[in-house]
Amino acid sequence: MSSFEDADTEETLTCLRVTAYHPGQMHTGVFQSIRFHSREKWPSCEAVKFGRNSNICHYIFQDKQVSRVQFSLQLFKKFGSSVLSFEIKNMSKKTSLIVDNKELGYLNKMDLPYKCMVRFGDYQFLIEKEDGESLELFEVLFTMSPRPLLQESSWPAHTPVPEYTGFSSCSTKSTSPVESDETQS
């Protein structure tokens, strides 16, 4: 029997893809301690902390406006489910954390959606979860966005606007479709 046949089956890891943006990221080096485009593995029992204290935090922001520990992410498994989830917890006494459009005060926490926008101060993070099988480890992968994330995405999601389908008896204007930016000055 070969060692290939005896080898453990490799499990995929749950991965958090974090796209980061800060308006001063090129000038101030706020993200200089973060290894972009490199998957970092963490034990599933560990809460991953983000902030400016290099003795406590796993991901350090070089910015005095950031709390020593800004927020944390903790992996968990809901009762009766095999899917791994994350909870996000605001650890800052001074700054609220905005997850999508929900404001988390100090020590407030919530389940992290599969895809969400996390903001505090001038920081913007698009966090997307990829499911994996392993219960022992998970990964975090950072990428940097050159543009503000709120402008690239439609946060919050907009409801579709129905097309104009008929003639209105209240209007004497043309019934042909008009682009929305044509009517703006």
**What CATH number is associated with residue 120?**
2.60.200.20
CA atoms of 83 and 112, how far apart (whole Å)? 13
Diameter over CA atoms, the chain:
84
185 part of a folded domain? no
Total tally of structural domains belonging to the chain: 1
Mean pLDDT calculated for residue range 7-16: 80
Range of 129's domain?
10-179
pTM over 0.85, yes/no: no
d(C-alpha 73, C-alpha 37), whole Å: 19
In a domain, 86, yes or no: yes
pLDDT band for position 180 (50/70/90)?
very low
Predicted local confidence at residue 5, as pLDDT: 61
User: Minimal CA–CA distance to 22: which of 135, 122, 155?
Assistant: 122
